[in-house]
Amino acid sequence: MGADAAGRLELVIDALLPQTQCRRCGFDGCLPYATALARGETELNRCPPGGPHVIERLASLLGRPALPLDPACGSFSPPQVAWIDEPACIGCARCLDDCPTDAIIGARKRMHTVIAEDCSGCGLCLPSCPVDCILIIPAPGLPGQPPTAKEVADRARRYRRLYDRRRARRGDDETQAN
């Protein structure tokens, strides 16, 4: 496969992923995982947020057998979001840099909160909190069952826009992660 075809394939694969940027697959985000998939360097069952639905779509696209979700990457669950116990928050602001969608707002020495609609539920904010005041909870306003393909795609597009906007604001270059 030529470089152009591989580049197009990685973008098609990336568009199928839920864009949580959670890193549970072992890569630094959805696009690096898509790149590795396009190159045949990893398995297609490493995306817990996408679950069986994404695995099936990747298998169909890549002409490979669908595999059960790799348990080393975690388990599938319906959409989730971070929630901050605001009275317990000490305003350290460590969580702000870890959020790939800028869903956490606040200032140093002030309490923080999560914009649930913008939160992908990646959980990257959890380890940075020194007082463990951040929890991952079911996404409010969504049904408790797995979302439809359209709902996954709609949420993924939103998360990707937020992630790209954050990268542009910070001057990040995702190609350096590949």
Is the pLDDT score of 35 beyond 70?
A: yes
Q: Where do the DSSP E strands lie in the chain?
A: 80-84, 104-105, 113-114, 134-138
pLDDT tens for each residue of 128-166: 999 999 999 998 876 666 677 788 888 899 999 999 999
pLDDT tens for each residue of 106-119: 888 888 999 999 99
**133 and 167 share a domain?**
no
- Structural domains of the chain, count: 2
**159 and 115 share a domain?**
no
**67 and 90 share a domain?**
no
How far apart CA 62 and CA 5 sit, in angstroms, is 13
